[in-house]
Amino acid sequence: MSRHPEVKWAQRLDKVFITVQLSDSKDSKVNLEPDGVFTFSGSAGSENHHYELKLELFDKVNVEESKVNIGVRSIFCILEKAEKGWWKRLLRGDGKPPHYVKVDWDKWVDEDEDDGTAAGLGDLDLGGMDFSKFGGMGGMDGMGDMGDMGDDNDSDDSDDDELEQEMSNPAKSESAKPEAEVAKEGGVGSSEGKKESAAAAST
């Protein structure tokens, strides 16, 4: 049986912010339709509980300009509204929203405070998040591993170590080279010594 993750939302004149609160999500799939249907599925927890979510948003959205970040603690989406305007609510219909859908007061501003300058992301601290666009990404299927992208640094470090070792090998060969040259020079010296000895003997 699937569960519903907690969802927080806020908006600006031209955007809607949706945060799916699900730590260490696996196999996360996020999809957005132009008519405003937002879906999410994934698993989390030690027992890999399955979570599903379907939200029919208040109005249409621009999928191509919308983007998503699948992080370690949550899935953060910035949805571009198809038409600028203040939504009365997140979801369609006049009924009470589900208990797992809540206002994100950390990102919220009132309509009279949204004078257009806050329509962008300048008033939000995104903490250096890397976003991917919904458009052309096949619904972001299989993007759940984005939260583990930091692990690539380990492989980079190992590559750097190998490179350093490779670079150190020529140094070793160079240090061994003078010994070979000394031995070679010694050999030349000994042959010259033999010639001198032979010349002295002939006289």
Q: Please indicate, yes or no, if residue 183 is contained in any of the structural domains.
A: no
Does pLDDT of 91 surpass 70? Answer: yes
Domain tally for the chain? 1
Q: Please indicate, yes or no, if residue 50 is contained in any of the structural domains.
A: yes
Burial 123-153 (b: 16+ CB within 10 A, else e): ebeeeeeebeebeebeebeebbebbeeeeee
Q: Which two tokens stand for residue 165?
A: 């070792």
pLDDT at 79: 96
Q: Please indicate, yes or no, if residue 16 is contained in any of the structural domains.
A: yes
Average pLDDT over every residue of 139-159: 44
**Global pTM exceeds 0.75:** no
Q: Encode pLDDT of 99-128 as tens digits.
A: 999 999 999 888 887 665 544 555 565 666
Q: Please indicate, yes or no, if residue 187 is contained in any of the structural domains.
A: no
pLDDT at 86: 94
Does pLDDT of 9 surpass 50? Answer: yes
Closest CA to 71 of 123, 127, 122: 127
Q: Please indicate, yes or no, if residue 13 is contained in any of the structural domains.
A: yes
Q: Encode pLDDT of 123-142 as tens digits.
A: 565 666 677 777 544 444 43
Q: Encode pLDDT of 158-189 as tens digits.
A: 455 554 555 555 544 444 444 444 444 444 44
| Four-residue CA torsion sign, 134, 101, 41, 25 | positive
Give CA–CA dist 8/76, Å, rounded: 9
The DSSP letter of residue 96 is P
Q: Please indicate, yes or no, if residue 46 is contained in any of the structural domains.
A: yes
pLDDT at 187: 46
98 band by pLDDT with thresholds 50, 70 and 90: very high
Q: What is the mean pLDDT of the chain?
A: 74
Q: How far is CA 112 from CA 93, 95, 117, in A?
A: 24, 25, 12
Q: Range of 8's domain?
A: 1-85
Residue 92 backbone dihedrals phi, psi, to 5 degrees: -70, 165
| C-beta of residue 101 within 8 angstroms of C-beta of residue 60 | no
Q: Please indicate, yes or no, if residue 169 is contained in any of the structural domains.
A: no
Residue predicted with more confidence, 55 or 120: 55
Q: Please indicate, yes or no, if residue 108 is contained in any of the structural domains.
A: no
pLDDT at 184: 46
